[in-house]
Amino acid sequence: MLPKLILAATLGLAAQVLAAEPSAEEYHVKGAYLLNFAKFVDWPEQVFKSPGDPIVLCIAGQNPFGPGLERAAKDTVVASRSVSVREVSDPQQASQCQILFVSSAERKRARTLLQALQTTSVLTVGEWDGFIASGGVINFKVEDEKVRIEINTASAERAKLRISAKLLSLAQAGKH
């Protein structure tokens, strides 16, 4: 029960801080979610070549988070793994990530990217209606000035990702 409360407090407080400048604050909250997703998702063992490999969080296209996400990632350790942030521009690079954020600016390329990643264990995260229907795993939605998440469990299963019940309990049911 305590870990669920900590998760809810961490994500819940972050989700409620959307304020005066929505885009900067919104991406601050989404960045916090991305880093926390690593704590509540299990990847197949073969995804990592060695126990010391970092969890690689990638941004497809232009980075809407600025340097704040990289600074926060430097202080994040998940199951003895550091977290590194990279920008990627093609499916080959994206296939080397554990978490891939696809911003709404990349919407036109998203379907191709998601199709190329169908046989990989990449946690794909987007931010527009239709993302999870296109095969993405997690989608951010802003409702009532709060960042919420939807999870497509079928896409997670296809990617061989195990999403903790704690994270699933915070999500809205995805339309897929």
The pLDDT of residue 33? 97
The pLDDT of residue 173? 53
End-to-end CA distance of the chain, in Å? 30
Q: Answer positive or negative: Cα dihedral of 47, 65, 81, 3.
A: negative
Residue 151 phi/psi, 5-degree rounding, is: -130, 130
Taking only the tens of pLDDT, the chain with its 176 residues reads 434 434 444 454 444 444 334 478 899 999 999 999 999 999 999 999 998 999 999 999 889 999 999 999 999 999 999 999 999 999 999 999 999 999 988 988 898 999 999 999 999 999 999 999 999 999 999 998 899 999 999 999 999 999 999 999 988 654 44
User: Which CATH topology does 2-173 take?
Assistant: Rossmann fold (3.40.50)
pTM confidence score:
0.85
Host H or E run for residue 92: helix 91-94
Residue 100 phi/psi, 5-degree rounding, is: -125, 115
* CB-CB contact of 125 with 34 (8 Å): yes
What are the pLDDT digits (tens) for 96-141? 999 999 998 898 889 899 999 999 999 999 999 999 999 999 999 9
Tokens of 99: 């978490």
Considering only CA atoms, which of 8, 22, 93, 28 is closest in space to residue 57? 93
Tokens of 120: 């990989």
The pLDDT of residue 171? 87
